[in-house]
Amino acid sequence: MNKTSSGPVRTAVLVVLGLIWLAPLYLLIVNASKSVDSYDAATVWKPSGFSLFGNVAEAWEKAALSDTLVATTIYSVVSPILAVLIGAAAGYAIVVLRLRYGFLWFIVIFGGTIFPLQMVLMPLFSGYADTGLYDTRTGMVIVYTAISVPFSAFVMRNFFTGIARSVFEAAIVDGGGMFRIFRSIYLPMAGSALAAIFILQATFVWNDLLLGLTLSQSESVRPIMPALTGLQSTYGGAALPTVLAGGLLVSLPTVVLFLAAQRFFSRGLALGQF
């Protein structure tokens, strides 16, 4: 097959794959827009009426999303910021400062991602209950930061490896201190990588369900995803269009974040560009 004939075939395949990928989104929007009375499982692919705003309002009220939105925003902003700073500091110490046994320290930090999260839920719950961190915003920020640091350290270590050693040596000759070099030179150079890590970790924290269910209880502390699951519980009493409308609503912030920072995200994936 020559290049001329392969072009339309490639385009057709990409279009089909794109439509398959968009099919769940279509089902979400169509069924979230149906009224409770008109919803029928046999006609999920067929649009019927438009009650999206009414369903969103009902989901907002029944799930008490206003109470959880503030807490989730705090977790999704503060924890990723702390994680990227700690990860950048770890990568700087291991690669640039050539910390003694640096690779061993890196293995220790990144080793936190080896074990499934479900394995540590029970001891984590017990520790939080004993220390008074259970059902507190401080406790949620701590745990989200802790689980985000390994990935941040991994990415930043790889990124700093691609920066020439002469940059650090020149800064030392100019009289720069270790912290000042990190703050004024390496952090600005790694801006795109930091932004990419922040987007990924903020999305993870926003979409978290397991930790929120385990370590929080009150509406002012619980993240938004566990609150949304209450719509499907026995006591929630919400119809499926209302649940889908709530899911569509809470997914919008992460979509907006990615679209707004897409340029930084794409540049941050090009590690070792210096």
pLDDT at 5 over 60: no
Query: DSSP for the chain?
Result: --HHHHHHHHHHHHHHHHHHHHHHHHHHHHHHTS-TTT--GGGTTS-----HHHHHHHHHHHTTHHHHHHHHHHHHHHHHHHHHHHHHHHHIIIIIS--TTHHHHHHHHHGGGTS-GGGGHHHHHHHHHHHT-TT-HHHHHHHHHHHHHHHHHHHHHHHHHTS-HHHHHHHHHTT--HHHHIIIIIHHHTHHHHHHHHHHHHHHHHT--HHHHHH--STTTS-HHHHHHGGGSTTT---HHHHHHHHHHHHHHHHHHHHHTHHHHHHHTSTT--
Using 50, 70 and 90 to split pLDDT, how confident is the model at 234? Answer: very low
pTM as predicted: 0.84
Minimum mean pLDDT among 14-18, 126-130, 215-219, 236-240: which range? 236-240
Q: What is the CA radius of gyration of the chain?
A: 23
**How long, in residues, is the chain?**
274
Q: Identify which of 78-87, 113-122, 216-225 has the greatest average pLDDT.
A: 78-87
Q: How confident is the model at residue 2, as a pLDDT?
A: 53
Q: How confident is the model at residue 98, as a pLDDT?
A: 86
Minimum mean pLDDT among 37-41, 139-143, 162-166, 248-252: which range? 37-41
Mean pLDDT of 14-27: 89
